[in-house]
Structure 1
């Protein structure tokens, strides 16, 4: 599992579940003001732990956890289907689809600004 800093739990859940179509796997409140929130693509073995930023340093890192580089890779078995669905849901692609030796890729951003790759590896349909 990978932790992703967010400014507010419910806004992040709305984005990942509503826009991406991820499933909400867990949303519990183990301690005061904190929640254990996990979202993941349907059928994925792993998910994202949405961690609310605490303090100025963490708040500054929301949306820039990787210094402007691609932060995570979202694999698909049907690039065209998912690219179209995400585009129709208002996901902002910052780099058009392109072919690499390892697959088809397009770069998109979360509403926070973190960059992710949508990728269909060449082995996905083999």
Structure 2
């Protein structure tokens, strides 16, 4: 039996600013945006051309979820965006206003730089060695 992670929930303050960031600044595709109730939507985004895990953008509901925004990994890098062209993606993301927390660095496993989304989540943009 084959299994895979279909989606990871990312708690955000509101749907539309999150959709805008992920589609306009990171270049993700909006896979689905379905209204479920007056206040809830099912919003999936994914890296363009990616066939892997999607992000479920979930609007925070209540104090506990509000407090979790940007802190889902306790201050650590939470998500890893792999690329086959680090330099092109880095330049594109910088020009779109993505906030990088460091300059790109070369490690034994590849080229990487940490960036932060507008909600406080830390990400690695990474091109693994050999890709």
Q: TM-score, normalised by structure 2?
A: 0.91
Q: Which moved more, 1:72-81 or 1:36-45?
A: 36-45
In structure 2, stretches of 5+ residues that fail to align are 1-6
User: 1-side partners of 2:119 and 2:44: how far apart?
Assistant: 17
* Residues 37-94 of structure 1: CA deviation (Å, up to 9, x unaligned): 0011111122100011111010011111111110000000000000000011111100
What does 1:1-126 correspond to in 2, within 5 Å? 1-45=7-51, 46-124=53-131
State how many pairs are aligned: 124
Give the Å deviation of 1:31.
3.0
Q: CA RMSD in A?
A: 0.9
User: 2-side partners of 1:90 and 1:7: how far apart?
Assistant: 19
> The residue matched to 1:96 in structure 2 has which SS?
coil
Q: Which moved more, 1:109-118 or 1:45-54?
A: 45-54
Q: TM-score, normalised by structure 1?
A: 0.95
> The residue matched to 1:119 in structure 2 has which SS?
strand
Query: 4+ runs of 1 displaced by more than 3 Å?
Result: none
In structure 1, stretches of 5+ residues that fail to align are none
Where is the strand percentage greater, Structure 1 or Structure 2? 1
